[in-house]
Amino acid sequence: MSALAAKPRVFAFERNDPTEESLQWLMDHGVDVALGKPMWEKGFKRYTDDEIIAAAQGFDGVIGASGANFNRRVIDQLPQLKYIAKFGVGVDSIDVPYATERGVLVANTPVDNQSAPVSEHAVAMMLTLRKRLNEWTPAFMAAGGWRGDIFCDVIAGSTVGIVGLGRIGRGVAQRLAGWDVKILGYDPFVKEPPPGVEFCSLERLLAESDVVTLHAVPTPENRGLIGAAALALMKRDAILINTGRAWLLDYPALRAALAEGRIGGAGLDVFETEPPDPRDPLFQMKNVVVSPHSATWNLAGTKSVGWFAARNMWAMISGEGEATIVNPEARRNAKI
C-alpha cells in the first residue's frame, strides 16, 4: 500500500450496496469515509445543490450515483474536491468539462454485468405492455375482473426499433433473436450492425417500429432526441421503452402524446427528476408501466458497482491500480 501524506477524506453521498463491504475496504486502507444517504431506503431524495455543497465540504473525494449534480457552482464551492467516483456508466450529472478545467478526476463504472439486467428489463416492459399485465393485476381480479374488454397482443411478427447499439442495445437484440421479430437499429457511432439488426435512419425506425426502445449514450447532441416531432412519426399503437437515460426523451411531449392517444403506451425506468413527483400523470395512465430506475437494482450488481467505484477511488487517491477515468486530461490541472 502506498504511504499517503495525509489521511484522505471521502464522502459517500449515496450508498448503493447494503453490505457496505467496499466502503469498509476503503476505510481499512486508511481512507476516512463519511456515509451519506442509503439508496435502498424508502423516501430517498436527491441532494439540492446547496445540500451537497454543505455535506461534501472539506472532502477530497465523493462517491455516488446521480443523486447530486456536480455542476459548475457545486464544483466551485468544493475547493478541496479532487476525485468523483460515479456509480454507473453515465456521467451526465457531472459537468465533466468543467471538472477537467478544475483538475477534478471523474471515474465511472462500466460494469459488464449491467447490460444483461437492463436488456432483460427492456424486454420485460415490452411484454408487460403487449400482454397487458399492468392491467390484468391481482387488484383487477380481486374486484371481480375477468378478461373484460382488455385484449393482449403479441411481439411475434412485429418490428422492434433499437436506438443505440452499445452493449445494452445489442443485448436487447440478442434476447429478441428467434422471437420472429424484425429488428431495426439506429446508432450513428456504430459502423456495423450486430447480427439480425438492420441499420436505418431514425426517421424510418420511428415510422416502422411497433416497439421503440432507447439505449443511446447521452451526449449534448441527443438531449431530447425523442421529442414531439419524433413521437409524431410513431405509429398510433406503438410503444416506447426508456430504460436508458431520461436525457434522451422529452417527457412533457411524451405525456401529451400518451394523453392524446398518439402512441400506444410507454415503459419507463428513468425520469427527468428522480425520484419523480408522485402526482405525475404518467402514474395514472393504464398504458404506462414504470419502475423506479431499478433495471440494475439487484444485490450482485450493486455490490459489483460498489467495489468498482471503491477501487476507482483508491486508484485515484493512491496511484495503485487503474481507475476508469473519463477525463484523464484533468491531471494537467490537478490540485496539489
pLDDT digits 0-9 by tens, 153-206: 999 999 999 999 999 999 999 999 999 999 999 999 999 999 999 999 999 999
| Statement to judge: residues 141 and 192 lie in one domain | yes
Q: Does some domain include residue 221?
A: yes
Predicted confidence band of residue 125 (pLDDT cuts 50, 70, 90): very high
Same domain membership, residue 76 and residue 158 = no
**Chain segment 258-277, per-residue pLDDT in tens:** 999 999 999 999 999 888 99
CA distance 103 to 81: 9
Q: What CATH number does the domain containing 139 carry? A: 3.40.50.720
Distance (Å, whole) CA 144 – CA 335: 67
Q: Where is the domain boundary, 285, 310, 325?
A: 285
Would you state the cell numbers that stand for residue 296, as one nine-digit string?
A: 440494475
Domain boundary among 245, 262, 285: 285
Chain segment 291-316, per-residue pLDDT in tens: 999 998 888 888 999 999 999 999 99
Domain span at residue 234 reads 135-285
232, pLDDT greater than 70:
yes
Whether residue 95 is contained in a domain is answered as yes
Alpha-carbon distance of 67 to 43, in angstroms, equals 13
In a domain, 292, yes or no: no
Q: Are 254 and 310 in a shared domain?
A: no
List pLDDT tens digits, range 191-221.
Answer: 999 999 999 999 999 999 999 999 998 888 8
Asked if residue 271 and residue 186 are part of one domain, the reply reads: yes
pLDDT category at 4 given cuts 50, 70, 90 is low
Residue 334: pLDDT band by 50, 70, 90 thresholds?
Answer: confident
Shared-domain flag, residues 91 and 144: no
Q: Is 245 exposed, middle or buried (0-12, 13-18, 19+ CB in 10 A)?
A: buried
Same domain, 145 and 278: yes
Query: Same domain, yes or no, for 281 and 302?
Result: no
Domain check: are 83 and 211 in the same one? no
In the listed set 285, 309, 324, which residue is the last one of a domain according to the structure?
Answer: 285
**Residue type at position 143:** A
Average pLDDT, whole number, for the chain?
A: 93
Q: Tens of pLDDT along 15-55?
A: 988 899 999 999 999 999 999 998 887 777 889 999 999 99
Instruction: Just list the catalytic residues.
Output: 245, 274, 293
Q: Quote the number of domains for the chain.
A: 2
Whether the predicted pLDDT of 8 surpasses 90 = yes
Residue 56: name the closest of 89, 73, 80 by CA: 80
Are 233 and 148 within one domain? yes
Q: Report residue 1's pLDDT band, with 50, 70 and 90 as the boundaries.
A: very low
pLDDT of 99 > 80? The answer is yes
